[in-house]
Amino acid sequence: MSEFDLIARHFCRATPQTILGPGDDGALLRPAPGMELAVTSDMLVAGVHFLPDADPRDLGWKTLAVNLSDLAAMGANPRWALLALSLPTADENWLTRFAEGLFACARTFGVDLVGGDTTSGSLNLCVTALGEIPVGQALRRDGAQAGDDLWISGQPGLAALGLLHLQGKTELPEPWQTLCVKRLSAPQPRIKLGLALRPLAHAAIDISDGLLADLGHIARRSNLKAQVRLNCLPRLPEGVSRSLALEAILSGGDDYELGFAAPPAHRPTLARVATELNLPLWRIGSFEAVGAGETAGEVRLLDPDGQPVAWERRGYEHFVAA
């Protein structure tokens, strides 16, 4: 099978939103009038971002989902994606399963796969995703304001616990085991939440490297500090040690929930959004002005009395020893 057969067999499907899809030098897209484009690329490497024996169907889903999560965090409506794929061998079964997962995610979120590249090499997956946002309405990281509430969606930390379970480092009881492994293998980009937040949030980010680390990005780019109250965090999984669960919530990556800043006036509306989307939204802290001697971007953990709690590990970073 040549790369051309491989692409034709596995990755060429209808692209109804697209002027010209796969098969030319590039794809041709026509953004709607009055729209800006949000564009993002993510690269997933075997052994770094996923276990080498990961189910290829899950991998197909996740490869696209992590990019759509970035679009969600911008408040964008996802429309197009490109896949660049480096593979050691053209394994027909693997490709069939991978494409199943990829297109399941594409269908779910209304995305056309419009092009990319396929090459031999060690397993490496790179997706670029494009979405539309009405001009000026994007949720950026730099828009948070002092006094904004700090919110988080869903249940961050589950993916990290799922990974620890798969690695044999902890034993999760059911139903957490199934839930955590599922969250790791097939994360749900929070597209609907991102769209709902456009008129409500001042800033947003998706939690991919760890809650504290990612909230720090909003704080730093908004020239603020953030405060997270331990007693406001989402419910911890039962049957797991409290310290492990806390570590997973605060520093675990790979959840793809949204963290965001919104003014207190929007609390009632956000409660309605949570109900409509059937997705919990937790108000876990606030963004505050930086005082004398403080550094923008700092994220402080506070105990129920408002006293700072020491916390070491801040999230996953490449090229830094853990």
Residue type, 202: H
User: Which one among 10, 11, 40, 202 touches a second copy, defined by CB under 8 A?
Assistant: 40
DSSP conformational letter for 46 = B
Q: In the range 299-318, which residues lie near a second copy by CB under 8 A?
A: 317-318
User: Which one among 8, 12, 41, 308 touches a second copy, defined by CB under 8 A?
Assistant: 41
For a second copy, which is the closer residue by CB, 136 or 268? 136
What is the spatial distance between Cα 176 and Cα 181, in angstroms, rounded to a whole number? 8
Plot region of 214 (φ>0 → left; ψ -120 to 50 → alpha; else → beta): alpha
Q: Does 19 bind a second copy (CB under 8 A)?
A: yes
For a second copy, which is the closer residue by CB, 133 or 270? 133
Query: What is the C-alpha R_g of the chain?
Result: 20
User: Which one among 9, 20, 54, 97 touches a second copy, defined by CB under 8 A?
Assistant: 20
Q: Smallest distance from the beta carbon of 211 to a second copy, in angstroms?
A: 15
Residue type, 23: G
Q: In the range 93-152, which residues lie near a second copy by CB under 8 A?
A: 114-122, 124, 126, 128-131, 133, 135, 138, 140-142
Q: In the range 170-229, which residues lie near a second copy by CB under 8 A?
A: 204-206, 221
For a second copy, which is the closer residue by CB, 7 or 159? 7
For the sheet containing 257-262, what is the strand order? Answer: 203-207, 257-262, 149-153, 281-288, 225-229, 299-302, 308-309
Q: Does 298 bind a second copy (CB under 8 A)?
A: no
Q: Which tokens belong to 98?
A: 């991978």
Q: Does 271 bind a second copy (CB under 8 A)?
A: no
Q: In the range 240-269, which residues lie near a second copy by CB under 8 A?
A: none
User: Which one among 8, 12, 23, 271 touches a second copy, defined by CB under 8 A?
Assistant: 23
* Of 25-33, 163-171, 173-181, 239-247: span binding a second copy (CB under 8 A): 25-33
Q: Which tokens belong to 65?
A: 């989902």
Q: Smallest distance from the beta carbon of 165 to a second copy, in angstroms?
A: 24
Residue type, 210: G
Q: Which residues contact 22 (CB under 8 A, 6 or more apart)?
A: 7, 11, 12, 15, 113, 114, 115, 116
For a second copy, which is the closer residue by CB, 49 or 165? 49
**Under a CB-based contact definition with an 8 Å cutoff, are residues 175 and 229 in contact?**
no
